[in-house]
């Protein structure tokens, strides 16, 4: 990955998945970051990724979770509270990085669903757990014509 010309998000996601394949914890964290959408587009985050060719000669991109953890501790990733929470959760899936579950309660429905999917992947229960984000229902008093 050229540090001056970041990979496009789709290619980066594919290369991250190729790296994480076979490790449910890395896969869960990678899928969470892909679902979130922001981190893979950020050059400051991409500086913590290592491109290489796997044993089949295909491009892959490894995540240096420890470097990300160190950068996060230094507040090197200015971002919204939800983006930082998602990154903390991804780290907690792959390292001994603790997460305050109360912070998860502040996530919106889309990010909460992404976290739940990541937990299903991490526990290898994807064949038994399905997370579906239902359409948002407005309370009756907010609906037009009420």
pLDDT above 70 for 99 = yes
87 to 4, 53, 61, 108: CA distances (angstroms)? 23, 26, 17, 15
**Average pLDDT rounded to a whole number, residues 76-101:** 92
6 within 8 A of 43, measured Cβ to Cβ: yes
Q: Is the pLDDT of residue 1 over 60?
A: no
Residue 4 confidence (pLDDT): 37
**pLDDT averaged over every residue in the chain:** 86
pLDDT tens per residue, range 24-71: 999 999 999 999 989 999 999 999 999 999 888 999 999 999 999 999
Q: Picking from 54-63, 105-114, 125-134, which range would have the lowest pLDDT averaged per residue?
A: 125-134
Please determine, for residue 104, whether its predicted confidence score (pLDDT) is greater than 70.
yes
Q: What does the pLDDT read at residue 10?
A: 92
Q: Which pLDDT belongs to residue 61?
A: 96
Q: Name the residue with higher pLDDT: 108 or 4.
A: 108
What are the beta bridge partners of residue 49?
Answer: 63
Q: Would you say the pTM of this structure is higher than 0.85?
A: no
As a whole number of angstroms, the distance between CA 57 and CA 28 comes to 24
Tell which residue, 116, 128, 130, 65, has the closest CA to residue 91. 65
Cα dihedral 7→89→98→69 (10° resolution)? 10
Identify the bridge partners of residue 41 per DSSP, sorted by sequence position.
Answer: none
> Do residues 50 and 65 touch, judged by C-beta distance below 8 A?
no
What average pLDDT does the segment 5-18 reach?
84
């Amino acid at each position: 990955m050229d540090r001056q010309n970041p990979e496009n998000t789709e290619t980066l996601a594919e290369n991250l998945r190729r790296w994480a394949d076979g490790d449910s914890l890395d896969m869960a964290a990678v899928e969470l970051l892909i679902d979130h959408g922001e981190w893979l587009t950020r050059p400051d985050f991409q500086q913590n990724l290592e491109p290489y060719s796997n044993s089949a000669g295909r491009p892959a991109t490894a995540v240096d979770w420890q470097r990300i953890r160190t950068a996060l501790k230094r507040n090197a990733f200015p971002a919204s509270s939800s983006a930082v929470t998602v990154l903390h959760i991804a780290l907690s899936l792959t390292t001994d990085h603790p997460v305050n579950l109360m912070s998860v309660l502040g996530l919106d429905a889309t990010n909460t669903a992404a976290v739940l999917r990541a937990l299903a992947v991490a526990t290898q229960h994807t064949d038994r757990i399905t997370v579906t984000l239902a359409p948002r229902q407005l309370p009756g008093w907010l609906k037009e014509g009420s």
